[in-house]
Structure 1
Amino acid sequence: MSDITMIRAAAERLKGHARRTPLLSSPFLDDIAGRKVLVKPECLQHTGSFKYRGGRSALSALDEATRARGVIAFSSGNHAQGVALAAREFGVPAVIIMPADAPRMKIDNTRALGAEVVLYDRAGGESREAIGEKLTNERGLTLIKPYDEPQVIAGQGTCGLEIAEQARAQGVTRADVLTCCGGGGLTAGIALALEAEAPGLRVRPCEPEGFDDTARSLAEGRIVANTQPSGGICDAIVTPQPGQLTFPIMQRLCGPGLTVSEDEALRAMKLAFERLKVVAEPGGAVALAAALFRPDEIAGDAVICTISGGNVDAAMFRRALDISL
C-alpha cells in the first residue's frame, strides 16, 4: 500500500527526471473566485501531464531483469505517454493498449515516443484487461496500471510534496486542494503527501458532470460506478469507477467531491490560457473550473488546484478559446 515513505522514495528516484512545476496565480482569477487561487500546472510536466511522475516511479522501482522484459499499460492517452517516455528513457519495450476513440494526438504521441500501440473498441465493449492479460502472458511484460498501483500512486504523490512546500512558501497553510480526478491516483497520492507534510491542506476531487463516480462514491461511502464507460470531452479523467486502492485513501483523507459542467471546463481552459499562459485539456481543467465557478462550495481565503494535463487537440482548444465568458 502506498504511504509517505514510498512517496519520498519516489521523489528521490524522480530527481533530475520529473519537472518541478510551479505554483501560479493571477489577480484576474482571484477576482473571479473571490479568493486567492494558486494553480499547479502539471500540463508543464514531461509528456504534458502529471502521469509521467507515476510512470517513471513505477518503472524505476522494478528490478532490472523484470524491467528489461518490457512493460504494458492501458490508457486513453496521458498515462500511455508517461509510461512510453519512461520506458524509452530506460531503453525497454512498452506496449500501450488505447481505446480507438482516444484523441488522435494522444495515440500519435504515444507511438512517437517509441511504444507499440494496440487499439481496442471501448464503445463496443471490448475488454482492455483481456487484451492486456493475453499480451502480458505471451511476452512476459509487467503491467503498469494507471492508478491502482502503489508505485504509480507514490509517483503522483510527489506532486503533493511540491504543493506542500510551495504553499508554505506563500504563507498558505489552510486551504482546499482541488484535484482533477479519474481513477484517483493523483488525488490519493497528493492526499497522502499532504497528510504528512501539510495537514491543513484538504484534498477535494473534481470531476465532470455525468462522470462524477468519485464524488458519489465518497457521498455514499462505497464505490459506485458511472452509468456509461466513455463519452464527453474530459477523456483524460473518465474512468468507470474509483480504484480499489485509491478509494480507501480518498475516503479517509478527502473532503466532498466537486462537479462541474463541460462548459465550465472549457471556460476554465480559456481563462488558463488568457491569464496564466498555460494550455489545459478539458479533463485537466475541471479543478480550476471548480475553483472559479463553485466558490460557495469551497472554504477559506485561498484555494489550490491542479491543471493535470494539457494534451488537447487544436479543434478542441479552438472550441475553448471561442467560448464566451
Structure 2
Amino acid sequence: MDSQDFAVGIEDVKAAAGRLQGQLASTRLVESEALNAKYKARILFKPECLQRTGSFKFRGAYNRISQFNEAERERGIIAYSSGNHAQGVASSAKLFGINAVIIMPSDAPQTKIANTRSYGAEVVLYDRYNQNRDDVATPFIEDRGMILVPPYDDPSIMAGQGTIGLELVAEAKERGFEIDDLFVPTGGGGLISGISVAVKAGSPRTRIWGAEPEHFDDLRRSLIAGERVTNEAGHRSICDAILTPQPGELTFPINKHNLAGAIAVSDSAVRGAMRDAANHLKLIVEPGGCAAFAALASGEVDIEGRTVVVVLSGGNVDLDIYGGMIAAA
C-alpha cells in the first residue's frame, strides 16, 4: 500500500492543527539530567498528561466534533472509552453544546468517570470482561440516532492526535536537534499512527516505536505477522487506557508502514517508569501514559548516544491507587 492510500495524510494533520489553534494547553518537551545520565542519551518527554482533560485525547475528539454540522449536533454523540477518550469527547461536546453519552468500563478509574460526568456527559457503565461495548452502544445509535465518535479508528481522530507530531518536529527544529528515536504508547493505534504521519513527513529518519502492556501486545505481534492479530482473552493490566483487542483497521496500515517496531512492557516496569517520572520530572503520569517510558527503560532499543523523545500520553489516575503503585515500584 502506498502512503497516499492511507486514511490520514500530512495535510489532514495540518488541517486538524488549524482547528485546534487556541484550544490546546502547551506541552513543550521537558528533560532530566539524571535520566540522561542514567540512559546515556538525551531524553525529552512530551507531557500530554498536562494537556486539556489530562491526556492527548482532547486533540482528536475536538477535531472530529468541530466538523459536525448543525443536524449532526442535534443528534448527539455516543462514545466508548476507559476514560481519556471519554473526557476528550465530553469536554469537546460541552464546548459545542452537544449532548453526549459515554459508555465506560465499570472498573475504569473513578477519577475518569467523575471527570467525564463533570463535563455534563451521561455515563453508562458496562463489564468490559463479559460485555461487548459495541452491543451496549447499539441502542443509542439505532434507537436514538446518536453519532458514534470512535476512540481511534477514525481519520479525524487520528489526524487530531497527529498534531503532537507536528509540535515535536517544530520544537526539535526550533531547539536545534534531530529526533533519533520516538517512543509512543499504543492501544488501538490512533495516537501513534497520527504522530507517525507528521513525524515521518518532517523527520523521515526518526525511528518510531510503539509501547504496549504484556498480553496486550497486538501491535507488536501484528507488525511481526504483517497483518492484524487479536489479543487472547483473560488477561489484565494496570494500563487501562491502552487495553484494546486488536490494532485498528485504519491505523494498522499506517503503523505497518511507519513504525520500526513495538515493545511489550510489564506492569512492574510501568510502575518503575511512573516513579521515575514523578521523581525526576515531577509529573503524575497514569500507567498507560507511561508505557513508552517503560519501553525505553527496557533496553530493547539501543539508544546510547542518541536523542530520544518519549510521549507521556496521560495523567488521569486515582491518587490513592497512584500512591500504591509508586510505593510498589
Q: Do they superpose with TM above 0.5? A: yes
Q: Verify: 1:170 aligned to 2:175, yes or no.
A: yes
Corresponding residue for residue 13 of structure 2: 7
Name the SS for the 2:13 alignment partner: helix
Q: Is the 8 A contact 1:33 1:291 kept in 2?
A: no
Deviations 1:219-277 (A, max 9, x none): 11111111126621000011001000000000001111112211111111111111111
Corresponding residue for residue 105 of structure 2: 99
User: Does the CA contact (< 8 Å) of 1:230 and 1:238 recur in 2?
Assistant: no
**Where do 5+ consecutive residues of structure 2 fail to align?**
1-6
Aligned partner of 2:273 in structure 1 is 268
Percent of aligned positions that are identical: 46
- TM norm structure 2: 0.94
Larger deviation, residues 133-142 vs 49-58: 133-142
| Residue 56 of structure 2 is aligned to residue 50 of structure 1 | yes
3-state SS of the aligned residue for 2:279?
helix
Aligned residues: 323
| 1:64-75 mapped onto 2 (5 Å cutoff) | 64-75=70-81
Cα RMSD between the aligned structures?
1.5
Give, in whole Å, the separation in 2 of the partners of 1:57 and 1:148: 14
> What secondary structure does 2:227 align onto?
coil
Stretches of structure 1 lacking an aligned partner (at least 5 in a row): none
- Please say if residues 215 and 235 of structure 2, whose CA atoms lie closer than 8 Å, have aligned partners that are also in contact: no
Aligned amino acid, residue 245 of structure 1: L
Cα deviation for residue 298 of structure 1 reads 4.1
Matches within 5 A, 1:167-246: 167-228=172-233, 231-246=236-251
Q: Which deviates further from its counterpart, 164-173 or 3-12? A: 164-173
Pairwise CA distance, 1:299? 6.8
What letter matches 1:80 in structure 2? A
1:133, CA displacement in angstroms?
Answer: 2.0
> 3-state SS of the aligned residue for 1:257?
strand
The normalised TM-score by structure 1 is 0.96
- TM-fit CA distance, 1:319: 2.1
- Offset at residue 68 of structure 1 (A): 2.9
| Mapped pair 1:109 → 2:119 | no
Three-state SS of the structure 1 residue aligned to 2:160 is helix
Q: CA deviation at 1:288?
A: 1.1
Instruction: Give the letter aligned to residue 107 of structure 1.
Output: I
Picking from 299, 304, 311, the partner of 1:294 is 299
Moved more, 44-53 or 196-205: 196-205
The amino acid that maps onto 1:132 is A
Preserved contact between residue 42 and residue 305 of structure 2 (Cα < 8 Å): no
Q: Which amino acid aligns with 2:317?
A: V
Give the C-alpha shift of residue 105 in structure 1.
1.5
The match for 1:33 is 39
Q: Could you tell me how far 1:205 is from its partner in structure 2?
A: 0.5
- CA shift, 1:31, in A, is 1.6
